[in-house]
């Protein structure tokens, strides 16, 4: 089964491109594979963040001042 891919042009900082090329050589992977994996991981992290926000949506809000007081009371600051 062949995976269909889309072609895109991206512009990288020259130093980032150099590092990416070196990593591709060292890991025997293509630059496309490295970029795809990085984007996939970033999107997965975003999805986790969204789920966490949704889970906490019903929690009561507290003010910044109250949070600082709680942290101080609990010995965290």
pLDDT tens for each residue of 35-67: 999 999 999 999 999 999 999 999 999 999 999
Q: Domain for residue 21, yes or no?
A: yes
Q: Domain for residue 3, yes or no?
A: no
Q: Domain for residue 40, yes or no?
A: yes
Contact in structure between 38 and 44 (CB atoms under 8 Å): no
Q: What is the pTM of this model?
A: 0.70
pLDDT number for residue 3: 79
pLDDT per residue as tens digits for the range 4-33 = 999 999 999 999 999 999 999 999 999 999
Q: Domain for residue 26, yes or no?
A: yes
Which structural domain, as residue segments, surrounds residue 40? 14-73
Q: Domain for residue 59, yes or no?
A: yes
Token reading at 10: 């991206």
Instruction: Using the predicted structure, report yes or no on whether residue 2 has a pLDDT greater than 60.
Output: yes
Cα–Cα distance, 32 to 20 (Å, whole number): 10
Instruction: Using the predicted structure, report yes or no on whether residue 1 has a pLDDT greater than 90.
Output: no
Cα–Cα distance, 47 to 54 (Å, whole number): 11
The DSSP symbol for 8 reads -
Cα–Cα distance, 52 to 46 (Å, whole number): 10
Q: Domain for residue 23, yes or no?
A: yes
Structural domains counted in the chain: 1
Q: Domain for residue 41, yes or no?
A: yes
């Amino acid at each position: 089964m062949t995976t269909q891919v889309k072609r895109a042009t991206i512009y990288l900082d020259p130093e980032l491109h150099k590092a990416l090329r070196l990593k591709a050589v060292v890991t025997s992977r293509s630059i496309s594979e490295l970029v795809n994996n990085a984007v996939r991981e970033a999107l997965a992290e975003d999805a986790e963040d969204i789920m966490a926000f949704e889970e906490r949506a019903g929690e009561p809000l507290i003010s910044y001042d109250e949070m600082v007081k709680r942290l101080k009371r609990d010995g965290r600051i």
